[in-house]
Chain A
Amino acid sequence: MTAALSAEKIISQLNDKFPGAVEEAGADSVLVKSDSLLAVAEHLKTAKGLKFDYLNYITAVDYYQYFEVVYMLTSLENNHSITLKVRCNTRDNPTVPSIRGLWQGADFQEREIYDLMGITFEGHPNLKRIFLWDGFPRHPLRKDWNQ
């Protein structure tokens, strides 16, 4: 059974290694600050006992005041999973660091979020629109886009 790891288990580890990174800890998700995302993600990928080597999905949600990017990671050998969240509070040109360097599976999914939601991922080698054509106006999946 892939146990969804509850946040308490890793919060103490994360607070020790990256003080101030964790903003909130939900029932099974951890909210981190966007500038410490890369460090936390790398720790989660390589630390013994955690070893989250499999990226399930990346998605983004548009809550009117902020964007939230949701990552779900799974560890194949320990068979547990964790959800990471990052928030961007600005609506024009929100940016989040890209984790494509750690998990190659993020390649197309980050391009999709850039295309449909308008969140820029720094460090992504090929951040172009993936589904819509290049001249498409703005980003359709946002809540304030109407035809």
Chain B
Amino acid sequence: MTTTRELVLNTEPFLLNIGPVHPSTHGVYRMRATLDGEVVIDIEPVFGYLHRGIEKLMEERTYTGCIPLTDRLDYVSSMTNNMGYCMAVEKLAGIKVPERAEYIRVIAAELQRIANHCLAVGAMLNDAGALGTPFFYLWREREKIYDLLEMLCGQRLMHNYMRIGGVSQDMPEEFLPALEKLIIQWRRFIEEFDFFLKQNEILIARAKGVGILSKELAINCGISGPVARASGIKRDLRKDDPYLIYDRFKFDIPTAENGDCYDRYRVRIEEMRQSLRILEQARKQIPGGPAKAELPHLVHPPAGEAYAHIEAPKGELGFYIVSDNSIAPYRCHVRPTSLINLTALREMVRGWKVADLIIIFGSIDITMGEVDR
């Protein structure tokens, strides 16, 4: 559509600072947006408000002592962060994880995935203006998941549960029956929730066709996770590069073609359903045995380097660790899922309006802890 405003009015663009303190920026994120009236012409992201120097801090702590630091990366889903780090160290040191520990890890990771998508979808709809109603429905169910995770490790948010060689403690006896009850409740809830929102006219008008990310741009930018799958890239590390025991479970990878906000929302809802499938299979198949490999307290991997990546709820989370045979990592680099997912934000929002900018940003689902580290 041509800008007829150029022919009629003499306007000039102005700079709006969507600041670090804002109700919808998912953390301390700042965008300097150049607007022409309501239309976004350009944005310039400013990062660094949550930079804590985690990579440097990791060089001064033992391998096990770094695990609480990884909790604070993507603080919304800390189980998967722990898991990625422990897998990288295990790959470096050649440690074999007992089978029961692998099942517990899968259960914890899938529960965390559902919890994370609850927050992602709820926050996106909150940004779209549904004054918290879908958010509260999802939050109520998320509390049930957090009760389970608290049963596992005693913590609700910064779990610090995985250890190198397994998990820190075995699951209590009441965990598996509670998990079974949760899966039944969640199946019912997902159908109800999806039914409410799938055909909502206003949501479709706000999200369908908005913020389209093309497949070529997504591949070029290195986008991963539900954002990439909504643009048509059929890549999920649980199937394409299976880690742990994911090759024993039957589940599907939801994808969509258009790459707009509505597709990202649908992909996340579908992923929640698939996670429930994995949880059901894991619950049935879990064997007995030790929950942690027998290791000395201070882990001394041989000199070398290793990279391990997992399908975290937000995308591909990877840890690249270089070791020089001492008790602390020589260098540990975190592949920042959210930072890389933000690479295409500028192309996605140009030409849309302020309201769309907020909802597009919400649909990418980032956490500033991972962006800034």
Contacts of A61 in B (CB 8 A): 322, 330-331, 333
Interface flag for B241 (CB, 8 Å): yes
A109 touches B339 (CB 8 A): yes
For A104, give its contact among B51, B217, B233 (CB under 8 Å): B217
Contacts of A53 in B (CB 8 A): 219-220
B342 touches A103 (CB 8 A): no
Interface flag for B141 (CB, 8 Å): no
For B221, give its contact among A62, A70, A105 (CB under 8 Å): A105
The CA-CA distance from A1 to B236 in the complex, in Å, is 11
B320 touches A131 (CB 8 A): no
Contacts of B335 in A (CB 8 A): 56-57
Q: A105-B221, A140-B56, A141-B56 are in contact. Are A62 and B331 (CB under 8 A)?
A: yes
Q: Which residues 89-115 of B have a CB within 8 angstroms of A?
A: none
A54 touches B222 (CB 8 A): yes
Contacts of B217 in A (CB 8 A): 104
Q: Which residues 208-243 of B have a CB within 8 angstroms of A?
A: 217, 219-223, 233, 235, 237, 240-242
B342 touches A108 (CB 8 A): yes
A76 touches B219 (CB 8 A): yes
Per-residue CB contact flags for chain B residues 236-263 toward chain A (1 = under 8 Å, else 0) read 0100111000000000000000000000
Q: Which residues 52-78 of B have a CB within 8 angstroms of A?
A: 53, 55-56
The CA-CA distance from A144 to B299 in the complex, in Å, is 25
A70 touches B48 (CB 8 A): no
Interface flag for A93 (CB, 8 Å): no
Per-residue CB contact flags for chain A residues 104-147 toward chain B (1 = under 8 Å, else 0) read 11011100100010000000000000111100000011000000
Q: A2-B240, A2-B241, A57-B320 are in contact. Are A104 and B48 (CB under 8 A)?
A: no
For B372, give its contact among A70, A131, A140 (CB under 8 Å): A131
B48 touches A133 (CB 8 A): yes
B48 touches A131 (CB 8 A): yes
Interface flag for B161 (CB, 8 Å): no
A103 touches B220 (CB 8 A): yes
Contacts of A109 in B (CB 8 A): 339-340
Contacts of B222 in A (CB 8 A): 54-57, 103, 105
Interface flag for A79 (CB, 8 Å): yes
Contacts of B163 in A (CB 8 A): none
The CA-CA distance from A105 to B316 in the complex, in Å, is 14
| B349 → A minimal CB distance (Å) | 15
A56 touches B309 (CB 8 A): yes
Interface flag for B47 (CB, 8 Å): yes
B220 touches A105 (CB 8 A): yes
Q: A54-B222, A105-B222, A105-B340 are in contact. Are A59 and B240 (CB under 8 A)?
A: no
B307 touches A108 (CB 8 A): no
Contacts of B340 in A (CB 8 A): 57, 105, 108-109
Hey, which bits of chain B sit against chain A, CB under 8 A?
47-48, 51, 53, 55-56, 217, 219-223, 233, 235, 237, 240-242, 307, 309, 316, 318, 320, 322, 330-331, 333, 335, 339-340, 342-344, 372
Which 3 pairs of residues, A with B, have the shortest CB-CB distance? A105-B222, A131-B48, A2-B241
5 A-B pairs with CB atoms under 8 Å apart are: A55-B222, A61-B333, A103-B220, A105-B222, A132-B51
Beyond the given pairs A57-B333, A72-B307, A104-B221, 4 more chain A to chain B contacts, judged by CB atoms under 8 angstroms and listed by A's residue number, are A1-B242, A55-B222, A76-B233, A105-B343
Hey, which bits of chain A sit against chain B, CB under 8 A?
1-2, 53-57, 59, 61-62, 70, 72, 76, 79, 83, 103-105, 107-109, 112, 116, 130-133, 140-141
